A = this chain, B = another copy of it.
Amino acid sequence: MNLGMPPSKIANTMIEFEHMKKISRTSPSKIVFLIIDGVGGLPHPETGKTELESARKPNLNRIARDSLCGLIDPISPGITPGSAPGHLAIFGYDPVKYNIGRGVVEALGIDLELKPEDITARGNFCTVDNKGIIIDRRAGRVSTDKSTELCRSLNNIAINGAEISVLPVKEHRFVLILRGEALSPELADSDPQQAGLAPKKIEALSPQAQRTAEIVNNFVSQASIRLQYEPAANMVLLRGFSRRPDIPSIPEIYKLKPAVIAIYPMYRGLAKLVGMQVLPGGESITEQLNSLRRYYADYDFFFVHFKSTDARGEDGNFRAKVQAIEELDNALPSLLSLDPEVLIITGDHSTPATLAMHSWHPVPFMLKSKWCRPDNVTEFSEKACLAGGMGRFPATEIMPLAMANALKLDKFGA
């Protein structure tokens, strides 16, 4: 997304993918994407060094020496990506065109299989006073056990015209799923996003969504009756009504046989959405890389997701993020010994520990292959990668680069 502006580049993704489909070909070469979530950072005020610059990471640096390096903009300069658009861009999808709703992301996060027509929403249990005014949007962060019990009760609500599912996520969070004929996700949130107000009635944003709005309002009023004697979780809030996007798959566009190895369900769900097979992830990067080795012969594209850099960045814990980078670096020899034809290491966005949140800063990138034309970069860091052969570039250009370096693309034009 260039929120300001226009395109030196062409907007029509479908046309773009048409070209890619024509020139992509299958071959035995392997492509591995190692995505270090939130890896980009900002200088520590005392040392002037970022997390990457502070970490001892001999393996990452050795790879940088043999790689084509750069800095990616997941969406466009200044725009901070959520996890879904950050990854979709890396997989070659225009993250603005294929924007995935909150409800869908939440459903992916609990490993739900969504049908194309399912409508999903993110739900919160909340506390309202006796006039119906919200006093706590998170119902005192009700326990997951309690919330699971409440979801079971709401899951029994029956409404004509839609099959209702209510599934717990964690603490006050749940997912609502509507399945039925001719439903529409074009609904406004009921969640006013602040206490002191009443939950809003769900409104249809288009005439076709009228009936769905009635169904959801009916659900909310039945839910409020079932919850009325609860001390904290006595009401629900809904937001981010959405449907699984109709997204061309990676096998279809690139003729690849892709697989994902991720510990967190959301990333597995996102990968499934673009046609990847889910492989066992285990509970650590070492186990993930063992899984990679085990299934290495069976696929030609692997997405390995490393989470803790982002988690420690969001905690605002600079030192712990540095340690997460070092932990990853330690595990790398196992991956390097597989010697994939194309190895790409980058992140889906920056999560500077000093900001303690996702940020808009571009993300270090490197691509190692026999054919990559290495540059002069000898370190995997923000400043060093800026001087790399790719300079600063949109993340959506990664997939064609990966395909080219794997010798899986025919030339374009006569």
Contact = CB atoms under 8 A, between A and B. Distances in A.
Interface of A: 1-13, 16-17, 19-20, 23, 42-43, 50, 73, 75-86, 89, 92-97, 99-102, 104-106, 240, 352, 355, 357-362, 371, 373-376, 382-383, 386-387, 389-405, 409-414
Nearest to A410: B80
Nearest to A102: B414
A142 B96 CA distance: 54
B375 A383 contact: yes
User: How often does this chain occur in the complex, in copies?
Assistant: 2
A20 B5 contact: yes
Q: Which of A1, A83, A361, A375 counts the most chain B CB atoms within 10 A?
A: A1
Contact of A75 (B8, B390, B398): B8
B5 A81 contact: no
A85 B361 CA distance: 27
Q: Which of A16, A375, A390 counts the most chain B CB atoms within 10 A?
A: A16
B404 A80 contact: yes
A254 B85 CA distance: 22
23 contacts: A1-B10, A1-B16, A2-B10, A2-B16, A3-B17, A4-B93, A4-B396, A5-B89, A5-B399, A10-B11, A43-B373, A77-B390, A82-B411, A83-B414, A84-B413, A99-B413, A240-B414, A352-B371, A359-B404, A360-B401, A375-B386, A387-B387, A390-B392
Majority SS of interface residues in chain A? loop
A8 B78 contact: no
A106 to B, nearest CB: 8
A19 B85 CA distance: 14
Contact of A5 (B5, B16, B373, B410): B16
